[in-house]
């Protein structure tokens, strides 16, 4: 990716080194040790309760030079999303409100509760902030999601949840799930996650169109990243039986399909995975 020439966002809040260890608040649901933690990292699910007592909480490694570059990277990608979505909202006679990106280590306090690094990158609709422990990127690489665009896809997906919040979709999904069975609620959650994947694709489409951001091999990186964190693949790798009714984010095929849909069309309207409105 040609990201180094992009401007940097002013909406990055660096809380690394100020986090305290403790008991994380559950932000999602849950799925042996490293794989289990990595699964929670991307899915935004607190899996520590399934691991048993952990002395001192979940530890992450000390910051590295790669982490410092990642700070520049996420700031540049966030700025690109700001530019793209501001324009896309404007052509629809709407105003885009930038989210803030909070960098943390080990654990963090948010308006959605206290979360350990085990919940991974997540968006909190209550404070319009995206939270990420940069050590997640090392775990993503171990799972097959290596490369700049794989990392950018993660952030683009979380920004997709921010769009849903601005448009009232997040609240509508939350209210609808309260009236559903667990299986029905999971199915609706999958639809919402696939829409965020599609929005990540729409961002990439316009970012490349505007800034020639993508290079040869970048799209393949994004596809590998999307496939690596499909519910079916993660369940298989953790030794579990694949149960579609327990999916919360979608299969590898679904995630790749919807990411490609957004990437190819560049249209928010093509991301209509949800059967509800505000």
Q: What is the pLDDT of residues 53-73, one digit of tens each?
A: 333 333 444 556 667 888 999
Query: Where are the chain's structural domains?
Result: 12-271
Per-residue pLDDT reduced to its tens digit, 126-159: 999 999 999 888 887 877 777 899 899 999 999 9
Please tell me which residue, 93 or 52, carries the higher pLDDT value: 93
pLDDT at 38: 42
Q: Which of 86-95, 196-205, 228-237 has the lowest mean pLDDT?
A: 228-237
pLDDT at 161: 96
pLDDT at 112: 93
Asked whether the predicted pLDDT for residue 247 surpasses 80, the reply is no
pLDDT at 126: 95
Average pLDDT over residues 103-112: 93
Asked whether the predicted pLDDT for residue 98 surpasses 70, the reply is yes
- The dihedral sign for the CA sequence 148, 144, 50, 180: positive
pLDDT at 50: 37
Q: Using a pLDDT cut of 90, give the percent of the chain over it.
A: 50
Please tell me which residue, 129 or 232, carries the higher pLDDT value: 129
Q: Which of 16-20, 30-34, 158-162, 222-226 has the lowest mean pLDDT?
A: 30-34
Residue 33 CB neighbour total at 10 angstroms = 10
Ranked by mean pLDDT, the top range of 25-39, 178-192, 232-246 is: 178-192
Q: Is residue 205 within 8 Å of residue 264, measured between CB atoms? A: yes
DSSP for the chain reads ---TTS---S-EEE-TT-----PPPP-S----THHHHHHHHHHT---HHHH---TTS---PPP-HHHHHHHHHHHHHHHHHHHHHHHHHHTTT--PPPPEEEE-SSEEEETTEEEEGGG-SEEETTTTEEEE-TTHHHHHHHTT--SHHHHHHHHHHHHHHHHHHHTTHHHHHHHHHHTS-HHHHHHHHHHHHHHHHHHHHHHHHHHHHHH----TTHHHHHHHHHHHT-HHHHHHHTTPPP-GGG-SS--HHHHHHHHHHHHHH--GGGG---S---
pLDDT at 276: 58
Per-residue pLDDT reduced to its tens digit, 112-133: 999 888 888 999 999 999 999 9
12 — pLDDT class (breaks 50, 70, 90): very high
Asked whether the predicted pLDDT for residue 210 surpasses 60, the reply is yes
Asked whether the predicted pLDDT for residue 101 surpasses 90, the reply is yes
Please tell me which residue, 25 or 264, carries the higher pLDDT value: 264
Q: Please, what is the average pLDDT of the chain?
A: 80
pTM of the model: 0.79
């Amino acid at each position: 990716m040609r990201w180094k020439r992009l401007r940097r966002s002013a909406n990055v809040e660096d809380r690394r080194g100020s986090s305290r260890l403790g008991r994380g608040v559950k932000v999602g649901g849950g799925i042996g040790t490293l794989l289990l933690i990595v699964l929670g990292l991307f899915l935004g699910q607190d899996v520590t309760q399934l691991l048993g007592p952990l002395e001192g909480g979940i530890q992450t490694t000390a910051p590295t030079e790669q982490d410092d570059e990642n700070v520049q990277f996420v700031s540049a990608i966030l700025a690109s999303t700001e530019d793209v979505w501001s324009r896309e909202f404007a052509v629809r006679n709407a105003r885009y409100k930038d989210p803030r990106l909070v960098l943390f280590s080990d654990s963090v306090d948010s308006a959605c509760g206290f979360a350990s690094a085990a919940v991974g990158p997540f968006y909190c609709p209550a404070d319009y902030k995206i939270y990420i422990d940069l050590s997640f990127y090392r775990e993503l690489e171990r799972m097959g999601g290596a490369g700049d665009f794989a990392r950018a896809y993660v952030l683009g997906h979380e920004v997709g949840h921010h769009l849903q919040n601005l448009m009232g979709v997040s609240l509508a999904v939350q209210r609808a799930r309260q009236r559903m069975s667990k299986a029905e609620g999971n199915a609706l959650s999958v639809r919402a996650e696939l829409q965020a994947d599609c929005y990540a694709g729409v961002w990439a489409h316009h970012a490349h169109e505007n800034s020639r951001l993508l290079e040869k091999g970048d799209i393949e990186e994004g596809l590998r990243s999307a496939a690596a964190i499909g519910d079916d693949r993660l369940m298989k790798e953790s030794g579990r039986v694949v149960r579609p009714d327990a999916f919360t984010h979608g299969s590898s095929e679904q995630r790749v399909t919807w990411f490609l849909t957004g990437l190819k069309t560049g249209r928010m309207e093509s991301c209509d995975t949800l059967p509800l409105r505000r």
